[in-house]
Amino acid sequence: MSKGLTDTIKEQLLDNMLGDSSATPLAQTPIYVGLSTTDPGSDGTGFTEPTGGAYARQSSVNDSGGWPAASSGQKTNGVLIQYPVATAAWGTITHWGIFLASSGGSPVAWGELDTPRAVGSGDQFQHGVGKLVLTFANQ
């Protein structure tokens, strides 16, 4: 399963960690989790979200409840993230991404689903607790 941080966020992390006192702080709340029908690639620009059918990125509180402390080099979601019931087909969801806004932009981190899932009208997609896993994977 591929997953990790985009090139942009890796550079921001390095700037925040070393030498750039003007770097924008990264911690914010809420963050937003979106779905993709394509592999976003290391820069995140290939992220293709469903359109219409009641699809919307879902907000997630960015604290130790929503995202508990990292363990064994991984960070996972600590709460259920549930999307609205689809009112039209969203396609086959293959990836998820974390965004800093409710719309627009590219993800700052992303991951691949263990099993792609076709979402049709009347379906409700969700990420169970611990299902979104982030690492500093080599990409």
- Residue 19 counted as domain residue: yes
Task: Please give the Cα distance from 99 to 82 (Å, whole number).
Answer: 16
- 87 has a pLDDT exceeding 90: yes
Cα 27 to Cα 86, 99, 134: the distances in Å are 31, 12, 15
- Residue 49 counted as domain residue: yes
Instruction: Tell me the pLDDT tens digit for each residue of 104-115.
Output: 988 988 899 999
Instruction: Confirm if 121 and 88 have CB atoms less than 8 A apart.
Output: yes
Name residue 26's amino acid: L
Between 4 and 79, the higher pLDDT residue: 79
- Residue 28 counted as domain residue: yes
Q: Report the percent of the chain where pLDDT is more than 70.
A: 83
- Residue 137 counted as domain residue: no
Its domain, for residue 65, covers: 3-69+80-121
Task: Please give the Cα distance from 83 to 50 (Å, whole number).
Answer: 12
If one counts the domains in the chain, the total is 1
Q: What mean pLDDT is reported for the chain?
A: 86
